[in-house]
Structure 1
């Protein structure tokens, strides 16, 4: 076993809101600052939804030894066990280490599992039930592999920047739509008996500079990870909003992010973790670090981190900020016993609350090989045995995957009703994006290429395809069934052959194009995770122009990780239809065929399609701007991203063509037509808001008479240590030697902020109270109903959307506050209803530090997109509503 690290104990200085390891660039007082919030809140036994599990966990943790508690909190090291992350085990109680595994579209590194549509495409269904079903199916597959904690869903990035590399993993740049996605996904995963992880908390909006080491490897001269600088109002109303939904829905874990927030690292930022997440939102689960996002030991524990992943300071170093160092920190008092107890209690309460019971099911796969036999400890090749049982967990999920991807496909243009197709005489399919990757669907590690059809973007949020139905395959099968002549050219560069094919009489041509992105540790065509621009890849725009120069009936299908620029060709009369099919997963070809032939009603866009990159008002910070220190990314646009930005730009400059989007947020065509009528609003009898008052209980210490003698925590003689594997035991009875720190002996008061170790009862925040915040925020104040009539000839799905104008200075023109997806037969009507909560109608008051309904007039708008809202009404409140 290797020794412990300096930075876990002493050698710490207070910078910003937390203690951090030296050396560190001195804080520039001109830079954004994150205020301290200590101590780290302990669990609330009276919190909703956890009481039974809390009591069980308390009994369980009370019986643990100090090393056993530490083992729950510390990963065993990168590739130290079978999963991308494994905690230490408790052999005495028959509890193996918890298995943590990516990811957002399915099980990473596995086999015989499904690849689901991306979160972004599921949001484009605007269907709560489908989002929940998708998440439950993902949870079921994880459960079948022995995974305990699934690293999904994603609300960070939310999509502040349209070129952000990982936007596809999340849902939408609108916090309400993303919040629904987070809540339904948390419920769905948990219902399968797996712990859901809301990530990345918070402000992780681009890949450039998210990790200093990664950026240095790309040739950038920086010594600290970038800082996302976010004001208090924007934090609450935009970036925190979907995490609040996840907490309210009972999400078990939250992953903190790589970058800094207001110049304090996300995984040791006490304002974020202690103040906002655990105190204000009342989060009762546990906070885990992103992989290598922990930068300190004691300081991160004091700031609210509960589990470090994968455990080692850098991959395969054998060193940890926690592990033996956390044991030592509790022994010398720099980490209070109650803080470690709370870490363990949060983890075990979540375990029991999810229905997991020690002994946990066997982990039947390995992240590090698809071979049947291999080493359990892949980092050093130890313990070779059967590690992959090739368990097939796909079940009957393929039809669901196909349905989600189809119902999330957005029909942006359909001139003359060219779609749906009905046994066309001649179908020509053009473009590399219609066909297979020559290396196979899994031929590029972590999907780090853009060859063949784009059914999954790249990075840690990927999975191995069990198969991939390409558009070429599915459309050809449909053509054979219909007796349609079919030809395809699966290249973007066969210009002469393409023109010769599509100019033929009776040709209906479908052009497939794409734009890819992913995580920052992989670069594709010099795209460092984030997209360099919003143009189509591999000459896609030129391909479309080439086809439309010869074919008057050109249908364009776009697979992309977000918006692309359509300005040069979208209004070309020879472009008769445009569809966005996102990142659809394994049933890609079947899904797009279902939409093209009208078997499935399409969805609505979850983001705005602007005319230029600049028209979005936000951009990737792609050059360091702080003299070698942490790049500073000021979120100066506040809450005005995506449609909120475009709406404000249009209101300010109605004659500016770039201010108006090509296709607005929420837009999407149908194969039928709908009429909205009879808007009714009930409610308004609102009781006065009561801020939360009182104090917490005292921090519970669960184990009495614990020895503080280092001799009692030496490495056991009956265990053969595995190199690089992390243990909670000490390697010396001399604490200074065990820590390898010449400055060992500093007390917590010498390097931790005031109050960090205070376990006395703490005052409750007025905005807190239960998971999700003050319970009154979730009270229904109004119910909105509207009649929707199908005025066309075929059955179709409509997506009614409810927006609210909150009123006041420098507020968005309107914000989404309700939606649904309803199926309406031709000539018939349905009544759609949705509720408006106090939270929906409130704004964050930075002075009061609470949610407040202002006294400005509030208007409800209802329609089919953010700019097609034919019905509106003013909300009428009773007296006493306002703060």
Structure 2
């Protein structure tokens, strides 16, 4: 049992004292913020959950609290991550499990469209339904915490490998995606986990070991250097929406922010998340993102995942070390109580009771029987019950993917109506010849792209390919149909698409994913923004011969279409995103007009790679030290940068066509009677403690009647001698020697002026509606369709974006019908973050509102008084 070494490592790191300040003084820094805020029993939406948690935690021993907060180790049990059970009180181990598109590594689960594709629907209700369905499937498998939704990465760089797991580089669109997803997941009885907090914008250099594996010599992870204004107005914005929605957990990220690791950065966790935003749930580490013991506890971390310092070592910064740190006073009593309270409050908030059904799946194997403790090979039993949790979610997936397909261009060839001859070209139309789940964690690009790669992946229960669905439609219509499912059979392709009456549909893609997988030299992040597998050449070649060429793009973000998009032979272009298991059915629905497209692109399509103004850092820039990535562009990413720099673009943010037409008119602005903004004042109550633990180390020694499981992480000490238990020859120092000032303070603390008094999300007056903007939208075409009016605002200052999205709706309108659009502007929508005042402030610059179908088509405008 490696308790001694673990304790030594933890306490050795404590002697670094200022865990957040190990950097060259010339580099960006992160101010310390202590103590870690404790739960507010009166927080909106949390009162009942807090009361239940308090009643439960007050019965727990210190060992049980440590067990609840410490992961049991990589592959030690059935889920991607679990914490220890509390059998004395009837609580089974809590299961933390991926993923953003479905339950990872199991069977009889659904694969949903990506968050990015869901965002393209601009449909709150569909995003909510997606979250609810995912929450139901997780609950049906025995999952306690679903590790999503994703607001980090936000999408600073279009090449970012995991952008597809999130929603959009626009903070408002992502914020609404987060809010509706959290509500849906948690209404289904599963705790949502907003991730990755924060500034986790690229895969390169996010972990030292991973970087070493690719041959990069760095000693610490990349530092995302973000100023206070940019943090609030851009990257923190969608997390605030998640907190306001009542999210139960937040996952801190791998990389550093201003040269302090995300999972021990007190500025991020204590100040921004728990204090300013009033987050009442618990913060868990990303897997192996914890770097210290007591230091991370006082900095705000509540749960370590998966528990071991490195996979399959059995060594932990917490576990026995946390037990010892609480007993000797290094970690204050209130902090371990608050950690347990936060976890159990999140648990109760979603309607869970102590008596939970067992976990009925196993991530590590698909075998029905096997060891429940996978790493140790112990506890042979039935571990997979193959429970089918899909319900009728296939229909929802098909609807979301279709309504998330953006019609970028159409000169009249769509919708198809019993065409005489359809020729489908491209590998992306067909199946992976080895099966849809043949590449681990989808780490390849074989066949049609319906999911990116990495921990955000899931196993397909089936995958409807475009070739399959389009052929079925062709047979139904009596259409001649042929397909060539490769990008490289040019002589055969030329012979096919050159024939008379051909409608050629070319399927192309561009993939990406998480950094631990390298696909064709793409180390998570994309190497470039071109199409994969010679896709651009395929499009150019087919369109040079066929005057009716339709291009369908499956991708994890924008690609460069500059060289061919305006070719007159290319009559239509569609972005179908990452559609999930119903891919073929969804694109067929759109191509044939069963679904009138109305999706909007959730990012900008630039003319060149350089036109975005940001890019992935592919090579370290700080010797062997932590790479330094300065977010010098501030809030100007994606369309905000294109508007400011006037760089060339092809399709603007929010662009999307329909098979009908719409007309905008009659903008009106109504001012509300909201009062003036009042900053929060006063103090919190003192930290609650239960005072129910012993200081006798004999009570914490590993029980003689308990079987030790190899590599399993326990809360027990290996000896009752404190010095030997710690394995630290200097053991015996005080917390004041180890930790920053105020880290153990449990007295009443002043409330921040921007924080809410019992109001998760910040000062509740930030969400007062100041203006309602209305406009009339008329369907001037011949068929019904959905329109997506978008409300933008100009804040008027010299350092403000030209326009910023603030609200939107998706409205169904019949031919000739006129319907009203109503958009709302809150105080937050009209404010800037003032770093000096540390609060949101409405500037004196004139404000203007705009309404239109995209960020560059804003025919309606009005001034705000």
TM interval, short-chain normalised: over 0.9
Establish whether residue 351 from structure 1 lines up as the match of residue 338 from structure 2.
Answer: no
Report matched runs for 1:645-664 at 5 Å: 645-650=641-646, 659-664=647-652
Find 2:815's aligned residue among 822, 826, 848: 826
Find 2:89's aligned residue among 86, 93, 107: 93
Find 1:768's aligned residue among 755, 770, 775: 755
- The separation in 2 between residues aligned to 1:361 and 1:265, in whole angstroms, is 36
- The separation in 2 between residues aligned to 1:462 and 1:56, in whole angstroms, is 35
- The separation in 2 between residues aligned to 1:453 and 1:310, in whole angstroms, is 33
- The separation in 2 between residues aligned to 1:103 and 1:214, in whole angstroms, is 21
Establish whether residue 225 from structure 1 lines up as the match of residue 221 from structure 2.
Answer: yes
- The separation in 1 between residues aligned to 2:332 and 2:292, in whole angstroms, is 16
Establish whether residue 121 from structure 1 lines up as the match of residue 122 from structure 2.
Answer: no
Find 1:387's aligned residue among 379, 383, 390: 383
State the shift of 1:499 in Å: 0.6
Stretches of 4+ moved more than 6 A in 1? none
| Structure 2 residues without counterparts, runs of 5 or longer | none
State the shift of 1:321 in Å: 0.4
Establish whether residue 560 from structure 1 lines up as the match of residue 581 from structure 2.
Answer: no
Q: Which residue of 1 aligns with 2:698?
A: 711
Give 3-state SS (helix, strand or coil) of 1:549's partner.
helix
- The separation in 2 between residues aligned to 1:399 and 1:532, in whole angstroms, is 35
Establish whether residue 675 from structure 1 lines up as the match of residue 677 from structure 2.
Answer: no
Q: Which residue of 2 aligns with 1:734?
A: 721
Find 1:245's aligned residue among 234, 241, 250: 241
State the shift of 1:18 in Å: 3.2
- The separation in 2 between residues aligned to 1:660 and 1:846, in whole angstroms, is 33
Contact 1:87 1:98 (8 Å CA) reproduced? yes
Report matched runs for 1:750-829 at 5 Å: 750-769=737-756, 770-829=759-818
Q: Deviations over 1:60-104 (max 9, x none)?
A: 111100000001100100011100010100010111110010010
Report matched runs for 1:288-327 at 5 Å: 288-327=284-323
State the shift of 1:815 in Å: 0.3
- The separation in 1 between residues aligned to 2:690 and 2:626, in whole angstroms, is 40
Contact 1:290 1:309 (8 Å CA) reproduced? yes
Establish whether residue 168 from structure 1 lines up as the match of residue 164 from structure 2.
Answer: yes
Report matched runs for 1:289-688 at 5 Å: 289-415=285-411, 417-602=412-597, 603-650=599-646, 659-688=647-676
Contact 1:63 1:703 (8 Å CA) reproduced? no
Contact 1:119 1:168 (8 Å CA) reproduced? yes
- The separation in 2 between residues aligned to 1:226 and 1:451, in whole angstroms, is 31
Give 3-state SS (helix, strand or coil) of 2:682's partner.
coil
Give 3-state SS (helix, strand or coil) of 1:254's partner.
strand
- The separation in 2 between residues aligned to 1:281 and 1:688, in whole angstroms, is 20
State the shift of 1:12 in Å: 2.6
Report matched runs for 1:14-25 at 5 Å: 14=16, 18=19
- The separation in 2 between residues aligned to 1:2 and 1:601, in whole angstroms, is 61
Establish whether residue 700 from structure 1 lines up as the match of residue 688 from structure 2.
Answer: yes
State the shift of 1:742 in Å: 2.4
Q: Which residue of 1 aligns with 2:833?
A: 844
Contact 2:252 2:286 (8 Å CA) reproduced? yes
- The separation in 2 between residues aligned to 1:303 and 1:741, in whole angstroms, is 22
State the shift of 1:601 in Å: 2.4
Contact 1:448 1:459 (8 Å CA) reproduced? yes
Report matched runs for 1:147-162 at 5 Å: 147-162=143-158
- The separation in 1 between residues aligned to 2:219 and 2:343, in whole angstroms, is 33
Calculate the aligned-residue CA RMSD, in Å.
Answer: 0.9
Contact 2:674 2:768 (8 Å CA) reproduced? no
Q: Deviations over 1:214-247 (max 9, x none)?
A: 1011100100000000000000000000000000
Q: Deviations over 1:265-302 (max 9, x none)?
A: 00000000000000000000000000000000000001
State the shift of 1:839 in Å: 0.7
Give 3-state SS (helix, strand or coil) of 2:467's partner.
helix
- The separation in 2 between residues aligned to 1:684 and 1:730, in whole angstroms, is 61
State the shift of 1:744 in Å: 2.0
- The separation in 2 between residues aligned to 1:812 and 1:580, in whole angstroms, is 27
- The separation in 2 between residues aligned to 1:831 and 1:19, in whole angstroms, is 52
Q: Which residue of 2 aligns with 1:23?
A: none
Q: Which residue of 1 aligns with 2:140?
A: 144
Contact 2:142 2:357 (8 Å CA) reproduced? yes
Give 3-state SS (helix, strand or coil) of 2:512's partner.
coil
Contact 2:14 2:293 (8 Å CA) reproduced? no
Contact 2:20 2:32 (8 Å CA) reproduced? no
| Structure 1 residues without counterparts, runs of 5 or longer | 21-25, 651-658, 877-883
- The separation in 2 between residues aligned to 1:420 and 1:791, in whole angstroms, is 18
Contact 1:10 1:746 (8 Å CA) reproduced? no
State the shift of 1:559 in Å: 0.2
State the shift of 1:702 in Å: 1.7
Q: Deviations over 1:706-764 (max 9, x none)?
A: 21111111111111010100110111111122122223222211121100001010000
Q: Which residue of 1 aligns with 2:14?
A: 12
Give 3-state SS (helix, strand or coil) of 2:133's partner.
helix
- The separation in 1 between residues aligned to 2:729 and 2:473, in whole angstroms, is 73
- The separation in 1 between residues aligned to 2:729 and 2:441, in whole angstroms, is 42
Contact 1:433 1:453 (8 Å CA) reproduced? yes
- The separation in 1 between residues aligned to 2:275 and 2:730, in whole angstroms, is 33
Contact 2:672 2:772 (8 Å CA) reproduced? no
- The separation in 1 between residues aligned to 2:530 and 2:273, in whole angstroms, is 38
Q: Deviations over 1:423-477 (max 9, x none)?
A: 0000000000000001100000000000000000100000000000000000000
TM-score by length of 2: 0.99
Contact 1:58 1:702 (8 Å CA) reproduced? no
Q: Deviations over 1:126-164 (max 9, x none)?
A: 000000000000000001001110001000000000000
Give 3-state SS (helix, strand or coil) of 1:9's partner.
helix
TM-score by length of 1: 0.97
Q: Deviations over 1:23-61 (max 9, x none)?
A: xxx521110000000000001111101111111111111
Contact 2:308 2:713 (8 Å CA) reproduced? yes
State the shift of 1:14 in Å: 4.6
Find 1:107's aligned residue among 103, 106, 114: 103
State the shift of 1:373 in Å: 0.4
State the shift of 1:867 in Å: 0.3
